[in-house]
Structure 1
Amino acid sequence: MDVTQEADATRSQVVHHIDPALEPENQHHHAHQHHTAFAEQGRQDEVVYSKDAQFEKGIVPEQTPLDHGSKNFNDPEAGENFPAQRIWYRRVKKQWRHMAHAVVWLLFTGWWIAGLILHRHDIGWLIPFLLYLAITLRIFFFYVPITIVSKPMHWVWERTAHPFVRMIPEKMRIPSAAALCIGVILVGSFVSKESQDNTRANRAVSLFGMLVFIFGLWLTSRNRKKIVWHTVIVGMLAQFIIALFVLRTTTGYDIFNFISGLATDLLGFASDGVIFLTSADFYNFNNGFKPASFFIVGVDSAIIFFVAFVQLLYHYNIVQWFIGKAAVFFFWSMRVSGAEAVVAAASPFIGQGESAMLIRPFIAHLTMAELHQVMCSGFATIAGSVLIAYISIGVNPQAMVSACVMSIPASLAVSKLRWPEEEETLTAGRVVVPEDKEHRSANALHAFTSGTWLGLKIAAMITSTLLCIIALIGLVNGLLTWWGRYLNINDPPLTLELIVGYICYPIAFLLGVSRDGDLLKVGKLIGTKLVTNEFVAYDALQHHAEYKDLSDRSRLIVTYALCGFANIGSLGNQIGVLSQIAPGRADDVSRVAFSAMVTGAISTFTSATVAGLLITNEKQYFSTPT
């Protein structure tokens, strides 16, 4: 073979890459590089490209392989050495942490004892005791592993519940659990005495409605053979028990009344800021013109302050800790994946988009069922920021808070009924709330100011959205009224609310509202919520003269039924947020979005039917409309 032939043979064995990123001169300018051990030590001279390499899946997938580059902690521009600062900070924190914890515990111990002695009978002891107990346990578990509690509980559970379950034949366990759930619901609903508007006949209608919603989800399930009935049964039972605790027990009423009272007090703190920016005379002026009742004055200020306050709690890991503990409970009890449990537990507190951000590294790796569940949890509840806004316009805070908590197990149950898991999940074995290093605040002041800016954007978005939606509804109503005149539809005039009211008439009946003239009104509110948003519906419920004569039962049930983000506008928001987090999953997100929205709406409807089953003293659970 001559030299020319040898060169041709050599060239024939070379594999030419189409991707320019694989060329040597471009090897440091593409977004998918794998470094050797030398590179991890700071040397960038050796870059290895892997093809069909098999790596063990970690529990937290990396967002971008570029994060594996050089670990040079020195910032030459800032002139700072981060390891030195961290070592000093950790040393000081370790030295003073014990003293700080001791001071905090002694302070709250003295406060609780003094309150118990001085105000045991006139103010009450339960709420202070629960607060003191929570602080004591939190400090205690800083030094003692939680396994000293969880292991004995697990030991007791293994030796009491499991032997009892094993006595039941495996084929009969699910039917037995379903029978137990139905029995608890029947006894809890129908044993109590009747009230004027809460007769057993009305409760039976609410129970029938719940069964219809569940049957409809089962009938339209993507794969009925894959339904995990344990998740569905436990979710519905947990929803009912939470409602039973809130609506039928004095302790539950006091706890949720305390929580709703704290939320209401936040409005007063926000008003202090408005008074500083204007004046007390302007804010409290009430002579046919009350600025405090204006949405842009009374509601926007509360939203901005609440979001900033939540960001401050987020900086100190209080929000993440609370969400993580709640997620562990639902992960263990309902047998869902860790990512699903985190989003379900977080959605009532931080909202639909923000809850997905908690599991941002996992979004690209979620199964279709997990994507459906993540979106369903967002649609099935509201966020803490808008909760404050609804309270400010007069919606009962206890009903709102309890509806948010009930939505956690309900959204998990109905989503797994509609779209059961058919794939292997990445977070099936544990609950993880990854640390968000990209959006980490430098200090508490930075967190609070960033939260202020975020709150301003949220308030501006809500205000502008309401302005445009209400204006658009006015335009549509004007056109429909004009068109209806030629068909002699004049009293009442043809409007969008009237059309969606008749469409949602069956839903109002299934919820169990009063049938003495309230069905069409409740149907209008539900339709308005689904077509526009829940804010417009709640505002109509509280301020429109048409709804002032709603019965107590109907008013409470519709308060629960409207408590969710399931509407056309939020559908676009969720698709946008998840597609931005994981662009490669945009098609999958769009595919499951509408199903998740409908399922989320059904989740809120089941909460409303549970309220219809249990409420006996309606008057104390809603505010008089203004």
Structure 2
Amino acid sequence: MGILLGLLAIIIVLAIAYAMSNDRKNVNFVGIGLMLLAQVLTTWFMFMTPIGEKIINFIADVFNKLIEFANEGVAFVLGGVAIEEGGSVFFFNVLLIIIFFSTLLSVLTYLKILPLIIKYIGWAISKITGLPKVESFNAVNSMFFGQSEAIIAIKSQFHHLNNNRLYIVSASAMGSVSASIIGAYMQMLPAQFVLVAIPLNMFSSLIIASLIAPVKVDDENDEVDVKNVSDSKSFFEAMGNGALDGGKIALIVAAMLIAFIAALELVNWVIAAAFAGITLQEILGYVLAPIGFLMGIAPGEVIQAGGIMGTKIITNEFVAMLELEPLIGELSEKTVGVVSVFLTSFANFSSIGIIAGTVQGINREKGATVSKFGMKLLIGATLGSILSATIAGLFL
């Protein structure tokens, strides 16, 4: 029964995206079918095979070891405050490790290791799915770098992007996460669900965007250049730039959490004054309950889970993860898995402004275009998160 409901959820998601399409005649159904198959095979391999489980455990162990290294740096500066038992401070214990991960990414970029890996994975995806190389490169790049960084990496190609291609690029950025904050996510959610969400969300973003804004390959204007992806002139400058960027990200996330959590409390206070005992999370839970049930969430947990998913859409993934974290031992594994995969993306209202602002910094006219389809972008990214979470739920 759960599989049938999951398949129904997938059909509904794809149908909504197709209904939103601005060029239904040119939808590449073969490419979309291949990407769906890739999602199913990836999830099956990672969740259902001994080799896949070993790979997930190995990657999780690597991240945990990197987190230990990061904590050593934090402890040196803060005198052990970040690792004291019973004295956990979210900014110290979770957000500051972003600095170390950002440093690693910057160094790997300077050494041309990551750009080459991303370029050739993107090339393979382009060949399989029929999508242009630029969009495929951007989708893979978005798995490693933040929304702004991923878009800036293809700025030299922006004058070739029509509105549909621009939508796909923006959708990939919104449906992704940055590798620099994956370690922070893994401090709050089970590692296996965060790790499987990354490739699933990449494919989901491309699937939904390819339905909403189909594109055709133009070989003359479809080249990816990774020669000048780093502004650093030396290894140590790359380390320094990465550390500074990571510090900025940590501070930005902290500021956003203060603002969003405080605003959420204010809204709940207003709602409670008008409707005693009701919170915004409960309202959102009832709104998202039907699709949550189809995604595979247990009926007794669907309101609570729906509230967390809704919180992510109107605030950000960190706020929602902080709500889910204390419930992990209380909710069923399937509910935790489905909701965790849903939360592991940048699909929320604030991302519209981030992406539109980044594009506007590159090309003012195209930035205005992104602002115009901002809501369509958020709906598409949310559909992508639902698709990823539903496919993960089929194997839990």
TM above 0.5? yes
Give the C-alpha shift of residue 430 in structure 1: 4.9
Report the Cα distance in structure 2 between the residues aligned to 1:377 and 1:524, rounded to whole angstroms: 25
Alignment correspondent of 2:236: 445
Matched, 1:573 2:354: yes
Q: Give the drift of 1:456.
A: 0.7
1:236 Cα offset (Å): 0.9
Distance 1:364 1:522 in 2: 42
| Structure 2 counterpart of 1:468 | 259
**Preserved contact between residue 296 and residue 463 of structure 1 (Cα < 8 Å):** yes
Query: Which structure 2 residues correspond to residues 104-115 of structure 1 after superposition, within 5 A?
Result: none
* CA shift for structure 1 position 582: 1.2
- Residue 330 of structure 1 and its aligned partner are, at CA, apart by 0.5
After superposition, the Cα gap between the structure-2 partners of 1:343 and 1:428, relative to the gap in structure 1 and judged at 3 Å, is farther
Which whole-Å CA distance do the structure 2 matches of 1:417 and 1:322 have between them? 27
How far apart, CA to CA, are the structure 2 residues paired with 1:379 and 1:510?
24
Q: Which residues of 2 match residues 95-106 of structure 1 at below 5 A?
A: none
Query: CA separation in 2, counterparts of 1:442 and 1:300?
Result: 28
Structure-2 residue corresponding to 1:415: 209
Displacement of 1:381 in angstroms is: 2.1
CA distance in 2, matches of 1:212, 1:284: 45
1:541 aligns to what?
324
The equivalent of 1:258 in structure 2 is 58
Work out whether residues 330 and 409 of structure 1, in 8 Å CA contact, stay in contact via their aligned partners in 2. Answer: no
The CA deviation at 1:408 is: 2.1
Question: How has the CA–CA distance of structure 1 residues 254 and 431 changed in structure 2, closer, same or farther, with 3 Å as cutoff?
Answer: farther
Residue 314 of structure 1: CA displacement?
Answer: 0.7
1:427, distance to aligned residue in structure 2 (A): 5.2
Give, in angstroms, the shift of residue 284 of structure 1. 4.2
Residues 378 and 600, structure 1, Cα contact 8 Å, conserved in 2 = no
Q: Is 2:313 aligned against 1:530?
A: yes
**SS of residue matched to 1:462:** helix
Alignment of 1:198-213 (within 5 A): 201-213=1-13
Contact 1:366 1:426 in 2 (8 A): no
**CA–CA separation in structure 2 for the residues paired with 1:520 and 1:431:** 46
**Contact 1:375–1:597, Cα closer than 8 Å, also in 2:** no
The equivalences for 1:52-91 within 5 A come to none
User: Which one has a larger percent helix, Structure 1 or Structure 2?
Assistant: 2
- After TM superposition, the structure 1 = structure 2 runs for residues 129-140 of structure 1, keeping only pairs within 5 Å, are none
The structure with the larger Rg is 1
User: Does the 8 Å CA contact 1:501/1:525 hold for their aligned counterparts?
Assistant: yes
Partner of residue 285, structure 1: 84
**2: CA distance, partners of 1:328 / 1:428:** 15
Deviation at 1:251, TM superposition (A): 0.8
* C-alpha distance in 2 between matches for 1:543 and 1:428: 52
- Is the CA contact (8 Å cut-off) linking 2:82 and 2:93 kept in structure 1? no
After TM superposition, the structure 1 = structure 2 runs for residues 457-606 of structure 1, keeping only pairs within 5 Å, are 457-484=248-275, 490=276, 493-515=277-299, 517-543=300-326, 548-606=329-387
Q: Which letter does structure 2 place at the counterpart of 1:305?
A: F
Structure-1-length-normalised TM-score: 0.61
Aligned partners of 1:248 and 1:285: how far apart in 2?
Answer: 37
Relative to structure 1, the CA distance from residue 441 to residue 524 in structure 2 (aligned partners, 3 Å threshold; closer, same or farther) is same
8 Å contact kept, 2:232–2:238 = yes
Partner of 1:353: 148
Rounded Cα–Cα distance in structure 1 between residues aligned with 2:181 and 2:246: 11
One-letter code aligned to 1:411: S
C-alpha displacement at 1:219, in angstroms? Answer: 2.2
**Hey, what does 1:98 align to over in structure 2?**
none
**Contact 1:382 1:563 survives alignment (8 Å):** yes
Query: RMSD across aligned C-alpha pairs, in angstroms?
Result: 1.7
The Cα shift of 1:521 comes to 0.9
Q: Which of residues 395, 400, 418 in structure 1 aligns to 2:194? A: 400
> For the Cα contact (< 8 Å) 1:342–1:433, is it kept in 2?
no
**In the alignment, is the contact (CA less than 8 A) between 1:271 and 1:298 conserved in 2?**
yes
Aligned-partner Cα distance in 2 for 1:426–1:436:
23
- The question of whether the paired residues in 1 share the 8 Å contact of 2:100 and 2:243 is answered with yes
Change (3 A) 1:347 1:283: closer
- SS of the residue 1:350 aligns to: coil
Post-superposition offset of 1:412: 1.3
Residue 375 of structure 1 contacts residue 593 of structure 1 at CA under 8 Å; is this kept in 2?
no
- Secondary structure of the structure 2 residue equivalent to 1:614: coil
Which of 23, 30, 33 is the matching residue for 1:230?
30
Of the three residues 328, 339, 344, the one matched with 2:123 is 328
User: How many angstroms does 1:549 deviate by?
Assistant: 2.4
Q: Which amino acid aligns with 2:225?
A: V
Report the equivalent of 1:369: 164
8 Å contact from structure 1 (residues 327, 431) kept in 2 = no
Distance 1:577 1:344, change over 3 A: same
CA displacement 1:252-305 (0-9 Å, x = unmatched): 11112211221122211111112212334x44433xx42xx2111111221011
Give the ranges of 4+ consecutive aligned residues of structure 1 lying more than 6 Å apart after TM superposition. none
CA distance in structure 2 between the aligned counterparts of 1:571 and 1:429, rounded to whole angstroms: 27
In structure 1, which of residues 432, 450, 460 is the aligned counterpart of residue 224 of structure 2? Answer: 432
Aligned identity (percent) is: 27
SS in 2 for 1:442: coil
**1:518 is paired with a residue of what secondary structure?**
helix
Structure 1 residue 524: Cα displacement: 0.4
Aligned positions of 1:241-256 closer than 5 A: 241-256=41-56
Asked whether the 8 Å contact 1:327–1:341 carries over to 2, the reply is yes
Contact in 2 for aligned 1:342/1:431 (Cα 8 Å):
no
Any idea what SS the aligned residue of 2:160 has?
coil
The alpha carbon displacement at 1:333 in A equals 0.3
Q: Which residue of structure 2 aligns with residue 214 of structure 1? A: 14
CA-to-partner distance for each residue in 1:480-522, whole Å, 9 max, x for gaps?
Answer: 11111xxxxx3xx12211221111112211211112x111011
How many Å apart are 1:436 and its aligned residue?
2.8
Paired with 2:82 and 2:313, the residues of 1 have a C-alpha distance of 34
1-side partners of 2:78 and 2:203: how far apart? 44
Q: Is the 8 A contact 1:511 1:609 kept in 2?
A: yes
Counterpart for residue 69 of structure 1:
none
Distance 1:581 1:420, change over 3 A: same
Structure 1 regions of 5+ residues with no counterpart?
1-200, 485-489, 616-626
Q: How many residues align?
A: 396
d(CA) in 2 for partners of 1:397, 1:403 = 10
Q: Distance in 1 between matches of 2:293 and 2:128?
A: 33
Deviations 1:379-418 (A, max 9, x none): 222111221111122x111211111012222221211111
